[in-house]
Amino acid sequence: MGASAAAQVSSPSASPSASPSDPYTQRERDWRNGAIVYQVLVDRFAPSAELDVKKAQGLYAPPRRLRAWNEQPQAGTFIESAKVWSHEVDFWGGDLKSLRSRLDHVQGLGAEVLYLNPIHLGFTNHKYDSLDFQAVSPEYGSRDDVKALAADLRQRGMKLVLDGVFNHMGSNAPRFRQAEADPASPWRNWFVFDARIPGGARTWKGVHNLPELNLEHPPVRQHLWAAPDSVVRSYLRDGADGWRLDTAYELGHEFLAQLTAAAHAEKPGSLVVGEIVNYPAGWMPAMDGVMNFHLRTLLLLLLDGKLAPATAAAMLERMVADVGIAPLLKSWVLLDNHDVQRVATEIPHPAKRRLAQVLQFTLPGAPNLYYGAEVGMTGGWDPAQRGPMDWDRVAAGHPDLAWTRQLIGLRKAHRALRVGDFRTATAQHLLAFERYTDRAADTVLVVANPTDRTVTEHVQWRHGDMMDASNLRDLLPPAFKTEPVSASAGFVHLTLPPYSVRVLAPDTGTQDGYSVYKRVR
């Protein structure tokens, strides 16, 4: 610990006795706020030790194929008999037990939540075509393996979030096949059949392998979330701590609210976060939070020069006002995942990418880290972004690994970044904002230059407790030579090279027994 940091800890103004009823302390007690989320595709994370047994059981029988761990996914051809693409039935052999063997890596990064892509029984590798929501796909394991994983995570102080695909099932699901073959089937009303629809049944975006569920039919809702033995409630009893909902925008506000209420009734404090690609306002409290694709798009447009920094700042401030800070803190901030290009491919420019990652870890929300991003894995559109985890890069100490740990450490060390409020600082050519609480010492000022030119600017810092002539310290040392920075009459004067960022905090420590912050909380 440096001298100024030690002084800060001992300073009465920097460490006041916090009231247990203040909003920031309450936010800190809720694990969902500002959590570090690590996302895993079970099949692609760690090779199983039981592949020979699984092959003998026929789990990878044609048209399925078991690939070598060092192979990369490639777009395939359509298999008419199975109504799927060949790359949808290529497997790499990961399972829940092999995932458990690699939890030291996930925990060592500093992740607090493990989010799994679907593990329900399904024909494809991605499992978004569930055959039975209550069963775990045998390639991955069993419900007992889910319980064991949840117990492992609980011992580590971590949480487990599962992927709920409740808008549709797979065309190979026994319930759908019976309903399709027999109009008198008890499952007929679970789906929407109409001879005017190509294929005869309503499907998700016209994908024939994904017939949509008829959520207006009460027994469907009972099965999915309402009944005590429902999918949502039973997995929470097995040890899961929450659900990420696939295509949540298609479920609608009313059904999402019912599902969330059922989850909270089963396990108070559980998380329901929805895949919302729309503007995020209006979706809470039907859910606890969203996957914030709007924020991801905003950042990409900013770094691509398609949004001016001042415009981006105004949009960020409007989004926070429209959505509210409380649900935003529970919403996931993502740069990549299984549906889009990996961040190292989407943003190949190293400085731009690091700038985007700093913003991911300093803006309000829960950073969602896609497996392999911590070692710079690349991958384009589906299926290229779903390659097997490159453990050789981990073993070799890839430079992105240290960078990721640094960002996670920054996030976890500073209260304002985890649970603080958000306010922009006024600038024209720089993006500037602060995260703050009711304590001046918690404040973090982020100033980024998302342009291809050096920018010198006076930034208006809209925080009245930031004392004049007080020094600012770097929380994330810049990769460029810089002069000391201080606050001056509510302004901060900075020069930033292209695609660079400063993460700053007030130095509230004492010098020769004196601190300008001595009477400011």
CA dihedral over 166, 170, 172, 176, signed as positive or negative: positive
Tokens describing residue 383? 């299926």
Of 254-258, 482-486, 491-495, least confident by mean pLDDT is 482-486
**Is 7 a residue whose pLDDT tops 70?**
no
Which of 38, 266, 479, 35 lies closest to 258 in space, CA to CA? 266
Domains of the chain: 23-419 (3.20.20.80), 420-506 (2.60.40.1180)
Average pLDDT score over residue span 125-151: 97
User: In terms of pLDDT, which residue wins out, 3 or 343?
Assistant: 343
CA–CA distance, 345 with 359 (Å, rounded to integer): 18
pLDDT of residue 483: 83
Confidence of residue 1 (pLDDT cuts 50, 70, 90): very low
Query: To which residue do tokens 């994908």 refer?
Result: 207
pLDDT of residue 3: 37
Confidence of residue 513 (pLDDT cuts 50, 70, 90): confident
Average pLDDT score over residue span 252-276: 98
pLDDT of residue 20: 64
Given a contact cutoff of 8 angstroms between Cβ atoms, the answer to whether 416 and 326 are in contact is: no
**Is 18 a residue whose pLDDT tops 60?**
no
- With a CB cutoff of 8 Å and minimum separation 6, the contacts of 395 are none
Which tens digits make up the pLDDT trace of 407-464? 999 999 999 999 999 999 999 999 999 999 999 999 999 999 999 999 999 999 999 9
**Is 322 a residue whose pLDDT tops 90?**
yes
Of 310-314, 361-365, 483-487, least confident by mean pLDDT is 483-487
Q: What is the mean pLDDT of the chain?
A: 94
Q: What percent of the chain has a predicted confidence (pLDDT) above 70?
A: 96
pLDDT of residue 437: 97
**Is 86 a residue whose pLDDT tops 80?**
yes
Which of 507, 497, 498, 400 lies closest to 445 in space, CA to CA? 507
Average pLDDT score over residue span 503-519: 90
Which tens digits make up the pLDDT trace of 191-219? 999 999 999 999 999 999 999 999 999 99
With b for 16 or more beta-carbon neighbours within 10 A and e for fewer, the 2-19 pattern comes to: eeeeebbeebebbeeeee
Tokens describing residue 106? 């996930």
Beta bridge partners of 140: none
pLDDT of residue 109: 98
Confidence of residue 19 (pLDDT cuts 50, 70, 90): low
pLDDT of residue 512: 82
- Amino acid of residue 136: V
pLDDT of residue 481: 81
CA–CA distance, 358 with 450 (Å, rounded to integer): 12
C-alpha distances (whole Å) from 258 to each of 204, 272, 385, 421 are: 22, 11, 34, 29
Confidence of residue 297 (pLDDT cuts 50, 70, 90): very high
Give the Cα-Cα-Cα angle 109, 110, 115 (nearest 5 degrees). Answer: 90
Confidence of residue 233 (pLDDT cuts 50, 70, 90): very high
